[in-house]
Amino acid sequence: MPQPTETEQGRAPVIEPGHTFASITDKISAIVLTRPVSWGWIVGFAISFLVMQGLLFGAGYLFVKGVGIWGVNIPIGWGFAIVNFVWWIGIGHAGTLISAILLLLRQQWRNSINRFAEAMTLFAVACAGIFPLLHLGRPWLFYWLFPYPNTMNYWPQFRSPLVWDVFAVSTYGTISLLFWYVGLVPDLATLRDRAQNKALKIIYGMLAMGWRGSARHWHRYETAYLLLAGLATPLVLSVHTVVSFDFAIGIVPGWHTTIFPPYFVAGAIYSGFAMVLVLAIPIRKFYGVEDLITERHLENSAMVMLATGWIVAYGYAMEAFMNWYGGSPYENYLRWNRLHGPYAPWYYLLLFCNILVPQVLWIRKFRTKPLWLFLVSLDVLVGMWLERFIIVVVSLHRDFLTSSWGMYYPTRWDWAIFLGTIGLFASAMFLFIRILPMISIFELRTLLPEAKTGGPTQEAEA
């Protein structure tokens, strides 16, 4: 196996030299167990928690008054709810990509960022799931979406992509949670053994389920982990494919196109890596883990962003080309309407954020300087949100009949709930980095040169 700690072609190492099994263990578990709560954390958590109240009040008011408090109306019946749903679920996809696909591809640099990327996935899916439920109109009847025997003698329509979506997103949420928890078990055992406080010992002990690192256990564990990665890989691709089917199966101009599945998946990974960087850059600075999340991680993530950004750009180009080349006057009008219609400024802003600005990542300085990379990532997050806005709103607001054209104006409740989910996401991340190891300790141990067992055992055999 190649030694990942050695510098390859002058690139930064995955782990800075000088670490041992003990130093890694102590450093990461100390963040949870002994580090005092800082003012920065308290203020950050308080702000996130305050912003989250937008979701609480917005959703509460929606339960009282109904979806009329939103700006949705015919012809734009989807509005912010679906824009935000697609945006959040896309962000989640980078976590699964890092934890599953990069594991199968033996990209060992993933080991220091997979844990919090998986947590990010979980919280992003939670935020995403809220929107379609609130959008139902009668959210308290959400369980009607699932096939269960009922007195109405009624079943869901399995030919509809909206039902596929229910299955895809709930499977994705479940598998992400299991994957994350299984990855945590050995590290929870480490925390159980390190904790000085009796109560903490019991809590972490319960969560670790008595993990003791037996060779037999590790053997089954590794098999299960690898198989889970193998299952999560097609799953993550299928989830955003099904999300894109919500659009592509319809006949609305701008939605009815075969490029949607790959273009949605690429866009999801694009925005997801942007979120990984938005989280990783401040975390590594404030918690002093720059030796574990190194420049190498930033640079690799930036390169993934650049590559997926180009796939997305290709998607835009092909969309516009096919609208024109396909010969349908409605599709052709959509292209014109995007460029010159009432929402044109947002379309240009989208092209600016998603295609123009990220090209700075060709320059190495922008890939390795945290501040610049942070700003580019924020820009991509905005751009990807605008992309979903353009897809949902611009397509719906002017379709086949001019008599049914209209405009969409989000209300304050649309904004309150959207910002509220950002607050929910940030609050959950703040709690996560304080109560669970945010970097996978046992997977980092395997990256150290000492973890190699090749040489002496072969001598013993001979």
Partner 1 sequence: MKRPPIYGLMAEFDTPEEVVTAARKTHEAGYKKIDAYSPFPIEELAEAIGFHHNGVPLVVLVGGLLGCFSGFLLQWWINTISYPVNIGGRPHNSWPAFIPVTFEMTILFAGIFAVFGMLALNGLPMPYHPVFNMERFAFASRDRFFLIIFATDAKYDSGGTRQFLEGLKPHSISEVPS
Contact footprint for partner 1 (CB under 8 A):
20-22, 25-26, 147, 153-155, 157-159, 161, 163-164, 167-168, 171, 174-175, 178-179, 181-182, 186, 189-190, 192-194, 205-206, 209-224, 227-228, 231-232, 234-235, 238, 242, 245, 442-443, 445-446, 450-453, 455-457, 460-461
Give the C-alpha distances (Å, rounded to integers) separating 17 from 157, 189, 448. 57, 26, 9
How near is the Cβ of 344 to partner 1 at its closest, in Å?
35
Q: Which residues of 298-308 are buried (b: 16+ CB within 10 A; e: fewer)?
A: bbbbbebbbeb
How near is the Cβ of 104 to partner 1 at its closest, in Å?
15
Closer to partner 1 by Cβ: residue 175 or 376: 175
β partners of residue 76: 73
Residue type, 459: E
Closer to partner 1 by Cβ: residue 217 or 256: 217
**SS3 of 438, please?**
coil
Token pair 């609208």 is found at 323
How near is the Cβ of 213 to partner 1 at its closest, in Å?
5
Q: Which residues of 364-392 are buried (b: 16+ CB within 10 A; e: fewer)?
A: eebbbebebbbbbbebbbbbbbbbbbbbb
Closer to partner 1 by Cβ: residue 218 or 333: 218
Closer to partner 1 by Cβ: residue 157 or 403: 157
DSSP structural state of residue 453: -
Token pair 């970097």 is found at 439
Closer to partner 1 by Cβ: residue 241 or 308: 241
Closer to partner 1 by Cβ: residue 196 or 403: 196
How near is the Cβ of 157 to partner 1 at its closest, in Å?
8
Closer to partner 1 by Cβ: residue 48 or 190: 190
Rounded CA-CA distance 357/361 in Å is: 8
DSSP structural state of residue 4: T
How near is the Cβ of 85 to partner 1 at its closest, in Å?
17
**Cis check: omega of the bond before 75, within 30 degrees of 0:** yes
How near is the Cβ of 207 to partner 1 at its closest, in Å?
10
How near is the Cβ of 50 to partner 1 at its closest, in Å?
36
Q: Which residues of 154-180 are buried (b: 16+ CB within 10 A; e: fewer)?
A: eeeeeeebebbbbbbbeebbebbeebb
Rounded CA-CA distance 282/371 in Å is: 9
